[in-house]
Amino acid sequence: MPIYEYRCEACGQALEVMQKLSDAALTDCPSCSRPALKKLISAAGFQLKGSGWYATDFKGGGKKPSEGSSPDGDSGAKKTHSCGGGPGGCTH
């Protein structure tokens, strides 16, 4: 469910609200009760819920280069692009 940011144009109160995509935008400020809330444009926020999602998923780092590799991380092995395209299959 997306997290939306709002700011009241009357009192300046800022808040974040978890809403369904189909929910109507909020208009009344919870602090001053005026119909002056405006939805802010910001980076998309979301939460991963349900079984199978862990806080450690998709975090980079943690892997150390093996002893046989050079200081720049090149072990001499043939590299493939992250898209999985092998020779001739990737244009990156």
- Go through the chain and tell me how many residues it has: 92
User: How many Å apart are CA 53 and CA 47, to the nearest integer?
Assistant: 10
3-state secondary structure of 18: strand
pLDDT in single tens digits along all 92 residues of the chain: 788 999 999 999 999 999 998 999 999 999 999 999 999 987 765 667 777 766 666 666 555 555 555 555 555 555 555 565 555 555 55
Helices (H) and strands (E) in the chain, counts: 0, 3
pTM, 2 dp: 0.47
pLDDT value of residue 21: 87
Based on C-alpha coordinates, what's the Rg of the chain?
A: 23
What's residue 85's pLDDT?
A: 55
